[in-house]
Chain A
């Protein structure tokens, strides 16, 4: 401290020399903005290390790519529905009447220098943005990172995903080619399927009868201004909450629920994240340069009377399209209102169901398990078998809807009957998720048993020993304490007991039905789990001398017969 005062007092030149050439400008800025204190703290903020923590970064960086490439596109794209006669570079449509929006999309693709590359980068970045958000969300779900105190951030992430989907669909609709117009027609159908008010909503949104000339300019404002603005705000909030809640970490030696073990933001994560940004940028640019995406010129201008085989939305709307394709006809008329449940249920209601279930899940799980504690350590998917099974069942249903969305492409590619695919999927959509749930839960419990056995007996060495009296056994390599700790650092869940039917006064207890349901659900959630080995079990297992290298695991025929399916002697 005293030296600093001295230098300040003696000469400013020496200060500059000792703090480097940037000291002057940074002090100038800090005197006026005063962020140095905050930066000093946050720059050293520690983040834990794991590859799966970088999935959300892919989404963030592709969003940056989207903003940059989108600005480029907006300089040339003209969202106008004024009819023009195309006289541009793409010969097959010269002289055709089309909207200015489509004509400027063609110009952007064929006449603006680098325009097609930018369009393709923008579209690939959108594909990656949404895919990365979904993958990131699955990571958060399967590791239980949404648990308290991160439920709010889970909801913010969910809002980001929904807005991203709307934003992507708006972008897909803008060029006004045959494919985007067909997609808009379906969106309009979804609006109209809402009972009673549907027609009014559609007329309100489209400014009259579909397609009209109002919608493209309207959706353009939403696409370039409104939704990106909200996205940007929510992303900031998402990141601030991440800093405030701190990042979750995998259990391991030295890592507890009360600390964060990792590397500081500066310099380690600045370097890693900066590098990864360029990787994401590079991959997006490479895809934009090498892979054609949405060749608008091939589809021709939109005309409600035309359609092309193989009309599909981008992948993130594919599941919804698939649900529409899968749904049997179900429509009736009450007084003068038509209820198109064949469109409303798979289109509007399913969308609400998916996002409703996702939003409610953390709270439902909290209620069932009664676990209201804060969690900063991640769970391995195997240690939450019911959650993992729910997740896999959801992925299965989503995948089936995807298949349904591409049913015509699958039919022609693999030579399968189109109707057969649809009929099969109509059954599978109910059966497969249940099967997936059961199978996944069994696999998780099997993996739990395997973990428990590894903790108790160590790793199988593959070396078969024959004892002097002729018995064969496999040698096990004892587990390192760090590895054993990581395998057992999770909680032992409590299965809720059934509440007493009467309270202590002998009066029938109120809320018993709810409590009963909770207890039953809790049993369903946890009862089949293989709990991690107790200290007692561990001691017993080690007492058999697994740590001594040459000693065979099981030394007498009597014990060999007396083991259960886990390899544990039955009397334990």
Chain B
């Protein structure tokens, strides 16, 4: 106790107390924060559509309706949108990237760990595509197989990307904000098939880029450019999140001016001492 009371006016005491407080709050949060429960996987041996129906009735129908017609609310409009004519591509995108089922009712479904495994996603897609009317099918590998894309095609993809995609998704594909709590998500680590599905189906705020507008070949080129941008070595060092001048300004103030002020204090502290006569 004596050590505590003698050191409580130490210049670093406040910092220490703050650190302890932060650690305690962080520890409590991680201990008490809610987590998702693990779900049992449905039997994969059943017939695709029948199995998909089972999954749909349990996991989707409460918002999208028993017949996929969607559920309307008198006050706030749609509770869940209609799934009529959305096709297998939309289901594979929304469920395969974990966007559906939504964790909470928010402006936009975020990408997260998928709730259903691949087989279940396939069953759901088959069910929606056969029962709720035809729609875009899951695109084939010609949309995203970039194994033998030439350099010129990458450049062409880059020009398409700059014209059509960067306005929302940012020049290096890290995403950007849209109005009303919506946003263009980051494109980092997006699988080719999901990339193609998003372009075809136009999920959430995204417009549809049909094959008549951008051919499958050009879609593949865009994906190749995206892949090139995201896999090329970070020339010039640590990219500071790739968010541009905001991150750079923060680094300039915190790391740059911050460290220089520390140096200035250090130099200012070390004075020549006046000798006593």
Choose from A289, A293, A309 the contact partner of B177 (Cβ within 8 Å): A309
Is A127's CB under 8 angstroms from B248's CB?
yes
Is B177's CB under 8 angstroms from A407's CB?
yes
Stretch of A19-27, A48-56, A149-157, A560-568 that contacts chain B: A48-56
A269 to B171, CA, bound (A): 47
B215 → chain A closest CB, angstroms: 19
A-B contact count (CB 8 A): 208
Is A406's CB under 8 angstroms from B246's CB?
yes
How would residues 125 to 165 of chain B score, 1 for a CB under 8 Å from any chain A CB and 0 otherwise?
A: 00000000000000000000000000110110011001100
Contacts of B228 in A (CB 8 A): 91-92
Counting CB contacts under 8 A, is A418 at the interface?
A: yes
Contacts of A409 in B (CB 8 A): 177, 243-244, 246-247
Contacts of B236 in A (CB 8 A): 109, 116, 120, 291-293, 295
Choose from B169, B248, B265 the contact partner of A293 (Cβ within 8 Å): B248
Is A462's CB under 8 angstroms from B8's CB?
yes
Is A50's CB under 8 angstroms from B268's CB?
yes
Tell me the nearest residue of chain A to B245, going by C-beta: A312
Contacts of A294 in B (CB 8 A): 245, 248
Is A131's CB under 8 angstroms from B167's CB?
no
Interface residues on B, range: 35 or more
Stretch of B19-27, B66-74, B93-101, B253-261 that contacts chain A: B253-261
Counting CB contacts under 8 A, is B264 at the interface?
A: yes
Is A280's CB under 8 angstroms from B245's CB?
no
Contact A462/B5 with A55-B261, A55-B264, A408-B177 known, Cβ cut-off 8 Å: yes
Choose from B158, B166, B177, B247 the contact partner of A307 (Cβ within 8 Å): B166
Counting CB contacts under 8 A, is B15 at the interface?
A: no
Is A417's CB under 8 angstroms from B263's CB?
no
How would residues 97 to 117 of chain B score, 1 for a CB under 8 Å from any chain A CB and 0 otherwise?
A: 000000000010000000000
Counting CB contacts under 8 A, is B267 at the interface?
A: yes
Is B256's CB under 8 angstroms from A417's CB?
no
Contacts of B168 in A (CB 8 A): 309
Stretch of B29-37, B54-62, B178-186 that contacts chain A: B178-186
Q: Within A285-337, which residues are at the interface with B (CB < 8 Å)?
A: 287, 289-295, 297-300, 303, 305-315, 318
A284 to B8, CA, bound (A): 38
Counting CB contacts under 8 A, is B195 at the interface?
A: no
Is B248's CB under 8 angstroms from A92's CB?
no
Contacts of A268 in B (CB 8 A): 272
Tell me the nearest residue of chain B to A411, going by C-beta: B177
A268 to B259, CA, bound (A): 23
Contacts of B166 in A (CB 8 A): 178, 306-309
Contact A58/B260 with A94-B155, A309-B169, A309-B184 known, Cβ cut-off 8 Å: yes
Choose from B179, B229, B246 the contact partner of A92 (Cβ within 8 Å): B229
Choose from A49, A95, A418 the contact partner of B180 (Cβ within 8 Å): A418
A46 to B228, CA, bound (A): 59
Contacts of A93 in B (CB 8 A): 155, 158
B167 → chain A closest CB, angstroms: 5
Please report whether the interface of chain B is mostly helix, strand, loop or mixed according to DSSP. helix
Is B248's CB under 8 angstroms from A110's CB?
no
A284 to B240, CA, bound (A): 16
B217 → chain A closest CB, angstroms: 17
Contact A132/B260 with A272-B267, A300-B171, A311-B244 known, Cβ cut-off 8 Å: yes
Contact A418/B179 with A283-B260, A309-B167, A315-B245 known, Cβ cut-off 8 Å: yes
Tell me the nearest residue of chain A to B9, going by C-beta: A462
Is B248's CB under 8 angstroms from A315's CB?
yes
Is A128's CB under 8 angstroms from B260's CB?
yes
A319 → chain B closest CB, angstroms: 11
Contacts of A418 in B (CB 8 A): 177-181, 183
Choose from B155, B179, B235, B260 the contact partner of A116 (Cβ within 8 Å): B235
Choose from A110, A135, A178, A299 the contact partner of B257 (Cβ within 8 Å): A135
Is B172's CB under 8 angstroms from A298's CB?
yes
A360 to B88, CA, bound (A): 67
Contacts of B163 in A (CB 8 A): 305-306
Contacts of A437 in B (CB 8 A): none
A135 to B252, CA, bound (A): 13
